[in-house]
């Protein structure tokens, strides 16, 4: 425990013990759970903003990785998981390459997404992608427009994936079924569509 040198505030020593800066609405388990899943020193973030400055999503959206890092350190679980911006990270790892504290913000986001998924908080369009993969093996299946372009470019009309080799589709479905992902996606999508 560091000594609060040069500070006269008698509470400073106490404040320094609380390195996560929790509030009454904080959930310390959230910070720990993200730490355990991401296996990165999330609590070492000192909010320099290098991650946000490196992020290709930041100039195009309201997504700020630094904000999520702060929320995580403060144990703000609901605020993190219910923010749709959580799903705007492209997992390019630029922030992880550049973080001066050797934290992996990308893995923090991935951990938060996993926790959000466990709680059934996932944007419907992501779940529709799961349904598409289950159906065709592709998040974005080929279509007639693309096929025509491919043929014009001298390519086969379908890529060498499950579109050309549908015999591999059952294997993909088996993996998805093993984790009950499609089942959960169907349930949440149906619920969302029921409520418009």
Which residues bind to ligand SF4, rule: CB under 6 A?
A: 45-51, 54-57, 65-66, 69, 89-95, 99, 101, 103, 105-106, 109
Q: How far apart are CA 184 and CA 118, in angstroms?
A: 10
Least CB distance to ligand SF4 at residue 175 (A): 24
Contact predicate 42/20, CB 8 Å: no
Structure tokens at 129: 């992608």
Least CB distance to ligand SF4 at residue 140 (A): 19
Query: By C-beta, is 56 or 159 nearer to ligand SF4?
Result: 56
Query: By C-beta, is 10 or 100 nearer to ligand SF4?
Result: 100
Least CB distance to ligand SF4 at residue 15 (A): 20
Least CB distance to ligand SF4 at residue 71 (A): 12
Q: How far apart are CA 98 and CA 51, in angstroms?
A: 7
Query: By C-beta, is 96 or 162 nearer to ligand SF4?
Result: 96
Structure tokens at 110: 């991935």
Q: How many CB atoms lie within 10 A of CB 167?
A: 7
Q: How far apart are CA 8 and CA 153, in angstroms?
A: 73
């Amino acid at each position: 425990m560091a000594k609060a040198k040069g500070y006269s505030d008698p509470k400073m020593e106490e404040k320094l013990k609380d390195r996560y800066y929790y509030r009454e609405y904080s959930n310390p388990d959230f910070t720990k759970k993200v730490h355990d899943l991401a296996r990165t020193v999330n609590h070492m973030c000192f909010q320099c903003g290098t991650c946000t400055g490196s992020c290709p999503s930041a100039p195009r959206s309201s997504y700020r990785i630094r904000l999520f890092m702060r929320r995580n350190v403060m144990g703000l679980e609901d605020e993190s998981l219910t923010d749709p911006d959580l799903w705007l990270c492209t997992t390019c790892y630029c922030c992880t390459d550049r973080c001066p504290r050797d934290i992996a913000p990308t893995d923090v986001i991935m951990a938060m997404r996993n926790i959000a998924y466990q709680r059934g908080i996932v944007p419907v369009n992501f779940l529709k992608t799961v349904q598409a993969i289950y159906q065709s093996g592709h998040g974005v299946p080929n279509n007639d427009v693309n096929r025509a372009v491919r043929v014009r470019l001298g390519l086969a009309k379908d890529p060498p994936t499950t579109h050309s080799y549908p015999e591999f589709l059952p294997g993909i479905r088996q993996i998805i079924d093993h984790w009950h992902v499609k089942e959960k996606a169907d349930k949440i999508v149906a619920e969302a569509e029921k409520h418009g």
